[in-house]
Structure 1
């Protein structure tokens, strides 16, 4: 890997292309070389588009902000015309996208060169990336550990230096969790800030937003400048922002902030000492910068947030399984998807319309509560995750659990499961490692993970910052300042160590 490719972020590469110090073809060749070297061990890229990328370079006029910069997209919702998109499932193994979705179209207009698609868990349902169809993706910092999910393939690819940025989306933490585990910057935008169409007007009832994972803050901000804005027909529209997010990165925060923080899980479950230390380190730094920081939890019921999130989750899986008929030409069977996915679908089919509506009302209550909270506090800080990365396979169901899941799935006992109260147990077990990220998805707030801590085992550990709706500019301002501090983890260091 050359120093040019290793040391530059996406904007740096684009500037070299613009000033003719490097040719797009050289960057593409570098990207391909790194993918071919690293991917056999990482399994981050599950579909390669080298020939398409070469053709795009020949036809590109190199006028966009990221002209000539290699980029990967994610294997769910980010549809590229004519290319496979499996959503991490064998059920979609023969599916080809009919057209670019709007997010991809806007990214393409920046001049970025698409050269592949990254791995994701089946239907983006897990905080780890270990789909049965494509196999597990591994963390570049330590191959025995997960890069997180559901944008784990993108996180691993960026951290390993395959590309300077990659497409991602976040419906419950899927940008921020891989960002935290891979030592990257990841921002989930305000609901409606980035486009969702044209196939859908909303993703996961507005909980999910598309954006990117990056090594530098400025790359994330510059891409948001390019892709944000009104999409006709979309279900949601974010508060308008007329400035430049990229400019915000270089503007110090104009006032001393009042910031709340917590290290306690909203579920009342364990938080690993390393994740606590990450937050306390950030608090100390912010106080040294002159901001007022105090310990204060969010004014929401954490268990209601978890239950409301999973109610949507169950319903969305059930709807996805029903829509498979259009792809398969028949009704979906349990053998078409992973057993856990089928079980989630059964729970969705056992969920009533009344329960679904009541859960959405809880989302709205939480949104109003957080708006009031931000009248006092500019930002809310938590660990991004409650635990450092798990080992590959560690979170797989145990043999007896697999037998139980298969048995329940085969006889369709979703309704009985709900009556036994097992949904609450599922909520705790599935979210206890990542209980902090769902709040911003349900309330529609912007939230970012910043790489401020490294565990004693040499694994990155992120800190989450949540702002009021529409305040990505404040997050980028603060992130730009934090990026200049000594405790910021620069993933480019990993590339230097590996080279």
Structure 2
């Protein structure tokens, strides 16, 4: 049996190498991971659906692939495991315990890479928030300070990786849900570009391709190697994105050259940006200059408020469609869903079809303007988060707003509300913590959060880099250079498997 301290010293590839050298067995790794998850569950609430017996049976079989024998956690949304119920953070689905007949394609590829999935991680209802505090499972907490959120929607996965339960966990990103929790928890979080990893078999593109699956990791090389194992088209893919020039793992340690990098600390929706977030970017800019890169202040000519409104329009409409589908599948009434979800769905249903399409057509404008920007700049640097990680419950909808929402929905006044300036207020209120991440989703471009800053209170606050389409390799090259120049793996939170 490997000790918790020894287990936590290795990244995913490192543990897989131990298995390959027969210094440890997959079952021994699994039992260490399960013990860590169970010990830390009362403090973090990260793993909400254990799969221990399924995992033990798999660990006893012959495994192959670059991560053969590695304990792994999947996110409890879009990453279905055959025969295991998925709750999506929703009471209706949790109670119905509907189990898929087949793996999601991304899970199938993870399994072919050799991982042993032993649980599903905590998410907000339908992954619709940047925090992980569902009524179905209760709040997930940040290992760096359990009074604070690990972010969302991949909050459970981020907490588990940061706490050393696993070195890699499944995540996905439709508005920042890989990068946001990475920024909260001191992790590396790469959001690949649209179409880079599979979405099937139940979806070909979620939210017009704004959503993408990948992982959260402590090391850059784990993220690169897992992308090698999962990228590429699947049966029914709507388009085939150009393959990388070389394996992504080969980008780790490869000289990125002298890059021209633009940076901005201005919130694109006009909300406040904390001094710590601005300092994180300035410190990163100085680090980049010391590595030989050219850094200057600039930003793409994009109306950030309009982009935020178009994002919220799509988000609310998707929430409405998801809620209606869950009602059909489970037979649940309104009591199976949270009030905030009801409100988002109600605004989604009240949105006129032409308004939705007009917003979607503007995605092309944003992509075009960002493409023009990337003709001048290799990368775009911003804070990942505008504000430090919130305390658990801090972003909860106030009681008076809940009362107003109930009245609006009872009187079916959502359509009238959408015609007022309240929509802009909704955008600012919903996105003020995370106004920088949605651009990459709507344009389909790759982006990453890199853990280069901790606040005076000891909380992580990541910085974000965005690249042009197909720029995953460039992002990995730079991330690996930054990881070597300013290592973060040795930093451990107070709540940790090895503590």
Q: Partner residue of 1:172?
A: 175
SS at match of 2:340: helix
Moved more, 242-251 or 229-238: 229-238
Instruction: Please give the alpha-carbon distance, in whole angstroms, between the structure 2 residues aligned to 1:56 and 1:242.
Output: 34
Answer with 215-224 or 357-366: which moved more. 357-366
How far 1:96 sits from its partner (Å)? 1.3
Aligned residue for 1:376, secondary structure, equals coil
The yes-or-no answer on 1:116 pairing with 2:125 is: no
* Greater Cα shift, 229-238 or 387-396: 229-238
Superposed CA deviations along residues 121-180 of structure 1, whole A, max 9, x for unmatched, are 000000000001100000000010000000000000000111111000000000000000
Question: Which residue does the alignment assign to 1:160?
Answer: 163
- 5 Å matches for 1:453-492? 453-486=453-486, 488=488, 490-492=490-492
Quote the residue 1:289 is aligned against.
291
Deviation at 1:497, TM superposition (A): 9.4
Displacement of 1:441: 0.3
Aligned mate of 2:49, from 47, 50, 53: 47
Q: How big is each residue's C-alpha offset from its partner over 1:69-98, in whole Å with a ceiling of 9 and x where there is no partner?
A: 000000100000010101000111222122
Alignment of 1:401-412 (within 5 A): 401-412=401-412
Q: Aligned equivalents of 1:360 and 1:368: distance in 2?
A: 14
Contact 1:184 1:491 (8 Å CA) reproduced? no
| Residue 219 (str. 1) matches residue 228 (str. 2) | no
Q: How does 1:80-229 map to 2 (within 5 A)?
A: 80-93=81-94, 94=96, 95-229=98-232
Paired residue secondary structure (2:160): helix
Offset of 1:4 from its aligned partner?
Answer: 2.5
Q: Could you list the per-position Cα deviations for residues 265-296 of structure 1 after superposition, in whole angstroms to 9, with x for gaps in the alignment?
A: 00111000000010001000001111110000
Inter-partner Cα distance in structure 1 for 2:388 and 2:29? 33
Judged with a 3 Å threshold, the aligned counterparts in structure 2 of structure 1 residues 168 and 231 are, in CA distance, closer, same or farther, namely: same
Residues 165, 451 of structure 1: CA spacing in aligned structure 2 closer, same or farther, 3 A cutoff?
Answer: same
Q: Which moved more, 1:405-414 or 1:148-157?
A: 405-414
Structure 1: distance between partners of 2:19 and 2:494? 25
- Pair 1:446 & 2:446 matched: yes
Take 1:20 and 1:428, find their aligned partners in 2: how far apart are those partners? Answer: 53
Uncovered stretches (5+) of structure 2, i.e. residues with no partner: none
Contact 1:183 1:490 in 2 (8 A): no
Q: CA RMSD in A?
A: 1.4
Distance across 2 between alignment mates of 1:350 and 1:236: 32
- TM-score, normalised to structure 2's length? 0.97
Check 1:268–1:402 CA distance in 2 against 1; reply closer, same or farther (3 A cut): same
Task: Provide the aligned length of Structure 1 versus Structure 2.
Answer: 495
1:26-65 aligned at under 5 Å gives the runs 26-59=28-61, 61-65=62-66
The CA deviation at 1:298 is 1.8
Post-superposition Cα deviations, 1:230-272, rounded to whole Å, max 9, x if no partner, equal: 112123433321411011012121x211110000000111000
Counterparts of 2:363 and 2:90, CA distance in 1: 29
CA separation in 1, counterparts of 2:190 and 2:423?
Answer: 30
Write out the 4+ residue segments of structure 1 that deviate beyond 4 Å after TM superposition.
489-498
Distance apart, 1:199 and its partner CA: 0.5
What displacement does 1:419 show? 2.0
Equivalent position of 1:17 in the other structure: 19
SS at match of 1:241: coil
Range that drifts further, 234-243 or 100-109: 234-243
Please identify, of 176-185 and 226-235, the stretch whose mean Cα deviation from structure 2 is larger. Answer: 226-235
Partner SS, residue 166 of structure 1: strand
What SS does structure 1 have at the residue aligned with 2:461? Answer: strand
Q: Is the 8 A contact 1:206 1:236 kept in 2?
A: no
Instruction: Name the CA distance, whole Å, in 1 between partners of 2:194 and 2:10.
Output: 31
Provide the residue aligned with 1:400 in structure 2. Answer: 400
Quick one: distance in 2 between partners of 1:247 and 1:493?
30
Bigger drift between 283-292 and 485-494 goes to 485-494
1:72–1:166 CA contact under 8 A, matched in 2: yes
Per-residue CA deviation, residues 99-131 of structure 1 (Å, 9 max, x unaligned), is: 101001001111100000000000000000000
Change (3 A) 1:495 1:20: farther
Deviation at 1:409, TM superposition (A): 2.8
Alignment partners' CA distance in 1, 2:101 and 2:93: 14
